[in-house]
A and B are shown apart, each in its own frame.
Chain A
Amino acid sequence: MAKHHVEAIVNGDPVEFLCETEETLLDVLRDTLNLTGSKEGCASGDCGACSVMLDGRLVCSCLVLGAEVGGRKIDTIEGMATGETLHPLQQQFLEHAALQCGICTPGFLVAAKALLERNSNPTETEVRYWLAGNLCRCTGYDKIVTAVMDTAAAMRKG
């Protein structure tokens, strides 16, 4: 069967690609569009390392088919910084050393950004529940949660 021809908006830019039905959005991002910031941890929606925004909704890109995203808007970790200027969350993750191996980090950042866009003043409990689908086997989470809370506080001050 012929491949699917898909046109979508990725990080604000129109893209088009060909994919097989079996290919996930994560496969397409990494292998076809060379956007390798989104990681494959579990490929079953448990770890969150492949988190992206799909039409403004946080999803695991391993649980979306490439063929499904025609006409839709996808935002990945590659679109988070503005040129050389890091997003405040990225900066706080660095300052708090909220990462070690870094595999989970893009997913945490995309997910945390989605949270702060909906809730500029989350409680620690809200941060922890929101990020329950992002697994980190290095940090123990405390530094990540602190980085998100501190970013929220700094962004509220403007």
Chain B
Amino acid sequence: MRYEAPDSLEGAVALLAGATGEARVLAGGTDLLVQMRADILDPDLIVDIKKIPETRSITEEKGGWRIGAAVTGAELKEHPRLKKAWPGVIEAANLIGSTQVQGRATMGGNLCNGSPAADSVPALIAAGAVATLAGPNGKRDLPVEDVMLGPRKLALRKGEIVASFFLPPRSPRSSDAYLRFIPRTEMDIAVVGAGVSLTVDGAGVVTAARVSLGAVAARVLLVPEAAQAIIGSRLDKPAQDRLEAAAQAACRPIDDKRGTVEFRIQVAGVLARRAALIALDRARES
């Protein structure tokens, strides 16, 4: 097994594009090393992207934020201004695993691991985050909701990696929130996750919203119907009910040891409602 740690995106892309056997990108390693250990994966080449400056930095860009794909959850949490702008994204990334895992786990890895239950992904999708991919033909941008196609299936072409995420500029009175259900308080995988990002006007009316649900379908869902259900409202009880119903209608979950189909659908509605109310409170204070 070959290990390479190039210091440029071009170097990483060249290694991956030229790989003849199975190649894997190493960011935080909290999924990759576990899968190697369990003999689920036995790559011929590991490309560690953490020596590439673009993947490791958090910078302001065009009024928004660019976050390197290999920035860890702990580093995100320690960035006060980013946390103020996107509290939902930061809280979602910091629900992944333990303190120890937070010291390593990254949003790029969380997305590219290809799990529909990935905690940071619904929050990124709700945020309208765009992934910047680097590949043999240069860079291209892809909305986060279009990166994952299904369990372990990504829209990345051979040689492509997720280099960074772009979080768009924030209007005044905007915020976001992410909630997940697990049977305990820490160290578990989402049974359901819900991310909501919204903007209100001076009168408290929702003028823009995005709602995303995790672990209720083969991929993380963007649910425009749920967003439409609250746009134009003050998120009063009827609007909350419409949001809950729209969220539930979008769910296509599986039955497994973590939860039944019925349970997941019900919880998706409840979490979408609660996340929207938290985002609303934060937006009023922002």
Q: Is B263 an interface residue (CB 8 A)?
A: no
Set of chain A residues within 8 Å of B5, measured between Cβ atoms: 67-68
Q: Does B30 contact A (CB under 8 A)?
A: yes
B46, CB-defined interface residue at 8 Å: yes
Select one of B29, B34, B38, B74 contacting A57, CB under 8 A: B74
Cβ–Cβ contact A63 & B104, under 8 A: yes
In the bound complex, CA of A63 to CA of B97 (Å): 12
Range, interface on chain B: 20 to 34
Task: Scan residues 5-29 of chain B and give those whose CB is less than 8 A from a CB of chain A.
Answer: 5, 26, 28-29
A132 within 8 A of B: yes
- The verdict on A133 contacting B97 (CB below 8 Å), with A22-B36, A59-B103 known, is yes
Residue on A nearest B104 in the bound complex, by CB: A59
* Residues 95-136 of B contacting A (Cβ, < 8 Å): 97-101, 103-104
CB-based contact A20/B1 at 8 Å: yes
Contact present for B99 and A65 (CB under 8 Å): no
| Contact partner, B100, options A4, A24, A48, Cβ 8 Å | A48
Is residue A139 contacting chain B, with contact meaning CB distance below 8 A? no
A71 to B3, CA, bound (A): 16
Provide the residues of chain A in CB contact with B1, threshold 8 Å. Answer: 1, 20-22
Interface presence of A78 (CB below 8 A): no
B257 within 8 A of partner (CB): no
Query: Is A100 an interface position by the 8 A CB rule?
Result: no
Residue in B closest to A133 when the chains form the complex, CB atoms: B98
Q: What mask results when residues 91 to 122 of chain A are scored 1 for a CB within 8 Å of chain B, else 0? A: 00000000000000000000100110000000
Q: Which of B28, B38, B46, B103 has the most CB of A within 10 A?
A: B103
B48 and chain A: residue at smallest CB distance: A68
What is the bound-complex CA distance between A44 and B38, given in angstroms?
Answer: 9
By the criterion CB–CB under 8 Å, are A129 and B100 in contact?
A: no
Which 3 pairs from chain A and chain B are nearest by CB?
A133-B98, A132-B186, A21-B1
What are some 24 contacts across the A-B interface (CB < 8 A)?
A1-B1, A21-B2, A43-B37, A45-B34, A45-B97, A45-B100, A48-B98, A48-B100, A51-B100, A57-B103, A58-B99, A62-B37, A63-B28, A63-B34, A63-B104, A65-B3, A65-B29, A65-B48, A67-B5, A67-B48, A68-B50, A130-B99, A132-B186, A133-B187
